[in-house]
Structure 1
């Protein structure tokens, strides 16, 4: 049974928004259980590696051999389909550092903050980096959207920074969320700059994370320097994190987002993913019992409006985003 392109695009959009929303809620819930941020990042990488590394090996082995004297088009013993320099750049920002910052943030700040400061601020960082590295013009409509996003972020994070004087730790999570968003934006812009497709980029960042982070984590855990709680966690929790964080957040959402881009285009896809901040905030309030203070609600509204203005700015831009550029924002 074959589905129509419209049905495939609709299913891809639903799956992408669902996984991106669930990522925020589940990551916060996971922070209140057994595993540490280092453990969750490890399980994310292992889960994704079980699927993507054989895929990358197959892609490299079935390529036409490069002529002698040319730059190698694969690296890491044939696990990454990209050159080593590109693999390292994408892997550090989109794989290792992003995961550590994002998961660490949930141990300090609630999911409602992550809803605004991660997917909400991603267009801000991406636009600024694209202007700096790709010489993209920021249109007046996009500038208005970025200003609204900044205002929303200040409403959310400003209260946490003020609470720091009373000994609160939420501001640490807010800064980690902003750092994670900036890392993912850097990965997205670098993927566009190198002209890398979503599948190859996702395989490359997983290959680097597996070859760099996994051995380092194993060594530090064996020496009891990483504060790992992996041995104390139940198998059900370990397997769930491997499946959802690795296979779901990395592999499935990467593929479905790319398929959504192919059907709806980058502008309409961005409008669809603008649902994520609101849905994840509602999920955090409903499922985790988190309070939705007035500043969070106002910040969420400003960020959502900012994303829509940014989409309008992209539509009127003389250099509209390509599917490759948009596919750089595949991961939760």
Structure 2
């Protein structure tokens, strides 16, 4: 397929991804006000994806297990259950616009930092300028939360930053392993489902599905299970393979704009001038930082891997 067509498909996949990501933050905010627990939402999110992607990847098990385990861990931890619990906890304290800015919005910063620090990639002047703007935007959020917001909001911001670092490892993990979208989805979803009983036994998560109204369960099955767990996981991994990790992360930085516009009528949230300025700095910085990373890769028996 011509390179232009590949890029167009990647861009279309990222448009779908951004729309679903924005809906994710709305869903997480609603879940924080629901009788459903984080464990319930995680089960509804990951179980359908584990069944679907596991079935699609059933003949690729040898290829998947041949991938260096540190990369599989980056995928499983980066967008699996640990990431979800960080994001869900952070959204209990922070407004939708903040959560959407501090996870996908600053993803290019962490992707570039990992690429530079771990893989030795050089950073151009444009990318450095973009990263600088993202840092200023993050600083504006944290400065406002530290000095003008309740401590709970500040805690939420730091938890969301941790979630963004986690997601950056997932983004790079998908890019360097050579796994296709279904294989990457199987790794993160199946690992999440396997970790749920561990979390329940340890007391870190609990379940309350039987007490939830059917309508609410149906909404989260569609929003989390189908939308985020299956469609967005597939479309984001698909986009990374065709656009690269950096460009995909940069387009994802537009998520806070979409999420904030949805949250205003849904939750009657107000967006302060400082939030608008911080979001603009992060989005513009992400666009500047969107130059493709020239990943060094080698061949293995089963497919391309990072050097």
- For 2:59 and 2:20, the matched residues in 1 are separated by 27
SS at structure 2 position matched to 1:291: coil
| Structure whose CA Rg is larger | 1
Alignment partners' CA distance in 2, 1:199 and 1:96: 17
Deviation, 1:125, is 0.8
Residue 154 of structure 2 corresponds to 171
Normalised to the residue count of structure 2, the TM-score between the two structures is 0.83
Q: Which residue of 2 aligns with 1:109?
A: 94
> How far off is 1:162 after superposition?
2.2
Counterpart-to-counterpart distance in 1, 2:13 and 2:113? 28
Question: 1:1-332 to 2 correspondence within 5 Å?
Answer: 12-60=13-61, 73-75=63-65, 86-163=71-148, 168-211=151-194, 213-219=195-201, 226-260=205-239, 272-311=251-290, 314=291, 319=294
Cα distance, 1:146 vs structure 2: 0.7
Give the 3-state SS of the residue equivalent to 2:120 in structure 1: coil
- SS of the equivalent of 2:178 reads coil
Counterpart-to-counterpart distance in 1, 2:165 and 2:249? 17
Question: What is the TM-score with the length of structure 1 in the denominator?
Answer: 0.77
Match of 1:119, SS? helix
Residue aligned with 2:94, SS: coil
8 Å Cα contact 2:53-2:186 kept in structure 1: yes
- Kept in 2: contact 1:74–1:83 (CA 8 A): no
- Bigger share in helix: 2
Residue segments in structure 1 that go unaligned for 5+ positions in a row: 61-71, 76-80, 323-332
Asked if 2 retains the 8 angstrom alpha-carbon contact of 1:47 and 1:245, the reply is: no
In the TM superposition, residue 46 of structure 1 has moved relative to its aligned partner by: 1.6
Whole-angstrom distance in 2 between the partners of 1:24 and 1:59: 33
